[in-house]
Amino acid sequence: MRLIVNTARRAPYAFLILMALSLAAVVISREWQTNVLSALGGFEFQVVTGALLVTGYGYQWLLFFKRVTRDSSRAREVLKSHRWVGVGMTYVFALHAVRFGHVWMTTLSVVFFLVAFTAVLNRDVLRYRQNWIYLIWLALHIGFSAMLVPLIGLHIWVALAFQ
């Protein structure tokens, strides 16, 4: 129990993102949002939440580019905001995602879940004793994030082309 309390103090975002992932999984698998969309405006609501997701996703790459350019100014603030924006994006994803559907939509959802899940397994939550474990985690998290880029592009193109 002490481990859970210490983890919650060190990384409060971890539990919030796990709750968001659970909410998104239930909403998508039960297709609850189909009824909610009609009340919220349908396509317009999808465009607004989608724009929020794309904006947040673009912001998330700021941390990557700061690391690549070795710009360590405000690194702690960027990492902190990276985590909290990720939590918020997971909740917005739960509002945005309608259902598992076509193979590429299911792939997009699964990859998004993998990005969020690997985010929870970071150094603050799991104390890595060896650096190579951290490097594998980092490669997975960034790799899954990079996989989202073409999937999001395809999703936007298909969604706007057929509406």
Q: How far is CA 128 from CA 16, 59, 124, 125, in A?
A: 22, 27, 9, 9
Record the pTM: 0.83
Q: Structurally, how many domains does the chain consist of?
A: 1
Contacts of 55 (CB under 8 A, 6+ apart): none
Is 131 exposed, middle or buried, given 0-12, 13-18 or 19+ CB atoms closer than 10 A?
A: exposed
Per-residue pLDDT of the chain (163 residues; tens, 9 = 90+): 566 667 677 778 888 888 888 888 887 777 665 555 555 667 788 888 999 999 999 999 988 888 888 887 777 788 889 999 999 999 898 888 776 666 778 899 899 999 999 998 888 888 888 999 999 999 999 999 999 999 999 999 988 887 7
Widest Cα–Cα separation across the chain? 52
Q: What is the extent of the structural domain holding 101?
A: 2-161
